[in-house]
Amino acid sequence: MAPNDKMLDSLRQEIDAIDDGIGDLLAKRVAISERIRVAKGRHNAPPFIPGREAQILRRLVARGEAAVPPELVVRVWREILSASVRQQGLFTAAAYTPADNSRYLDLARDHFSTLTPLVPMASIGAVVSAVLERRAHVGIVPLPEDSPSEVWWRGFGVGAARALQVLFRLPFAPIGPGAAALVIGCQPFEPTGEDRGYLVVETDGEISRTRFKASLDAAGLQAINLIAAPEDKKASAGATWPYLIETEAWCPTGDPRLAKVFANTGGSSIAIRSIGGYPVPLKITAPIHPRRK
C-alpha cells in the first residue's frame, strides 16, 4: 500500500471511530427520550415542545466550533429533534397547500422531516379545523400579513377555540429571504425569553394605527405589525372590529400591560387577549463556498 493510501486508511479509521461514538450517543439520547415519553404520558404533555427545541438549537449554534457551519448544526439536530417527537407517539401536521403552491408544505417538511406525517389541506380554515378537532397536532398557516383576506386568527382564545395558539414560526433558521409560516396548535405557548407575541383586540369602533401605537407604547409594549380585518369580514362578523397586533415581546393574557392598552384606547376596546407567539428565529448568514481551483 502506498504511503498516501496508508494515511487515507488511517483517517478513515478515525472517522469510523467518531461515527461509532456518535451512534452510541444517539442511542443514549433515544433511551432518555423514551423516559421522557413515559414522564409526559403521566402529565398528558404534548409531543412537540417548540420552545424547548428553540432553546436547544440556540445553545448548540452559540457553542458551535468555527469549522462547523451553523446551518449544518441546525439541519442535523432538526432531524434528531423530529425523531424525538415521533418517538413520543403519533404526531401529525396539517399544512395549508393551495393548488398552485406547495411552499407551506415544503416549510413543514423541512422542519418536521419527511418521516413525519404531513397532511396537505386546500384552505387555511381546514387547517385550523383539523387542529381544533384534534385531527392534527399542529397546523402550518401563512403569516397573517401574507393572507390579509383570511381572518383565521380572530377566534383564537375564545369559546371552543380557547386553546388555539400560535406556537412557532418557520423557518427557525432562515438563510436569506424566502417563504415563512406560523405553526398553530391547541397547547399553551411556551416562552423562551426571546419571543415575539400576537394579540387580538376587538373594538366597538375603528381605531387608527397611531392611536393603537400610542396605547401600546404607554403600556410598555412595542408593536411590530398591526393587521385589521377586511371591511367585508367586519360587516359579516357583527359590530366588533378585530385587529391582530404582533408585538416585540410576548405578553401573556392577564398581564397588567394588556389592561393598560385596554384603558389607553379610550374605552373602545371590547376584548384583548394573547394568542401566543414565536421564538425569535436564529440569524444565519448564507454559507460561503470555497472556489474550486
How far is C-alpha 55 from the geometric centre of its chain's CA atoms? 13
pLDDT tens for each residue of 101-116:
899 999 999 999 988 9
Say how many C-beta atoms besides its own lie within 10 A of residue 43's C-beta. 6
How far is C-alpha 267 from the geometric centre of its chain's CA atoms? 33
Among 140-144, 192-196, 256-260, name the one with the lowest average pLDDT: 256-260
pLDDT of residue 194: 96
C-alpha cell at 71: 446551518
pLDDT tens for each residue of 219-246:
899 999 999 887 655 555 556 788 999 9
Task: Give 44-60 as a 3 state SS string.
Answer: CCCCCCHHHHHHHHHHH
Topology adopted by domain 87-279: D-Maltodextrin-Binding Protein; domain 2 (3.40.190)
How confident is residue 293, by pLDDT bands cut at 50, 70 and 90? Answer: very low
Angle (CA) 20 72 64, round 5°: 85
The residue type of 208 is S
pLDDT tens for each residue of 84-95:
999 888 899 999
Q: The pTM is what?
A: 0.89
Q: Is the peptide bond before 177 cis (omega within 30 degrees of 0)?
A: no
